[in-house]
Amino acid sequence: MEYQKAAELNGLCKGKIVTEYLCRNGFSELTVDSKKVSVQHKTEASRKEAEDESRLPALEAAYTTILRGLGENTDRQGLLKTPLRAAKAMQFLTKGYHETIYDVLNDAIFDENHEELVIVKDIDMFSLCEHHLVPFFGKVHIGYLPSKKVVGLSKLARIVEIYSRRLQVQERLTKQIAMAISEALQPVGVAVVIEAAHMCMVMRGVQKMNSRTVTSAMLGVFREDPKAREEFLALTKGAQ
């Protein structure tokens, strides 16, 4: 029995990422080197910070060009540092590209004999529409039916943060959150609903101030069993 990816052993090592392992007679021998993973993550974080710093001048220049293209005087006092601020802001708003669920989960997955529905509602979400680079924001409701493993509740919000801090469309964001939780916990089922307002509809285009977009992703039992799906939707109905 051979495994090429750590994700294939997910849930077998108390939430730790498997970086070195040996499989004989099933899973009788399994080596976990969590310290090595921690060092690797710190190294990757340092490299990411260095990459961001090296890219700032190009981003700053690009924002300067945009402002001048709009007819602004980039030498006036109010705009002197705006290109740099905008560049740093964009790096922060898209920092999810450099993060994975394993960066936030680590030791936060626990063995627990709990087989009932777990729901976290009203998780604030902010993202950027990839079509116009304007914000969309709203609430995320997450539910999962554990299979002997649970995750620290705050980590669900962190998973939302990872995927929302990218250029997104709401449909893909909803599915990515659900798939990430399913991969990490291997639960019986995962349900995710997002309700958001899109500034590309509110500030421009059709300019419909009160419009909301609702998307859902149902995996496992929530897709297969109408009663499970109805229970989740009933418990999240009216959540704001």
* pLDDT, tens only, 41-61: 566 667 777 888 889 999 999
Task: Give the chain's length.
Answer: 240
pLDDT tens digits along 114-138 = 889 999 999 999 999 999 999 999 9
Q: What is the DSSP string of 33-90?
A: -HHHHHHHHHHHHHHHHHHHHHHHHHHHHHHHHHHHHTT--TTSGGGTTHHHHHHHHH
DSSP assignment, residue 18? Answer: P
Of the candidates 129, 149, 148, 145, the one whose C-alpha atom is nearest the C-alpha of residue 137 is 129
Residue 49 confidence (pLDDT)? 77
pLDDT tens digits along 179-236 = 999 999 999 999 999 999 999 988 888 788 788 999 999 999 999 999 999 999 999 9
Asked if pLDDT for residue 150 goes beyond 60, the answer is: yes
Which are the catalytic amino acids?
129-132, 170, 198, 200
Q: Are 75 and 91 in contact (CB under 8 A)?
A: no
Of the candidates 174, 180, 123, 186, the one whose C-alpha atom is nearest the C-alpha of residue 150 is 186
Give 109 or 217, the one with higher predicted confidence: 217
pLDDT tens digits along 61-101 = 999 999 999 999 999 999 999 999 999 999 999 999 999 99
Asked if pLDDT for residue 3 goes beyond 70, the answer is: no
DSSP assignment, residue 105? Answer: H
pLDDT tens digits along 65-74 = 999 999 999 9
Lowest mean pLDDT among 9-18, 159-168, 186-195: 9-18
Residue 44 confidence (pLDDT)? 65
d(CA 204, CA 202): 6
- Angle value at C-alpha 161, between 119 and 34, nearest 5 degrees: 90
d(CA 215, CA 127): 15
Residue 239 confidence (pLDDT)? 58
Residue 144's Cβ-count burial label (10 Å; 0-12, 13-18, 19+) is buried
3-state secondary structure of 127: strand
Residue 214: which region, alpha, beta or left (left: phi > 0; alpha: psi -120 to 50)?
A: beta
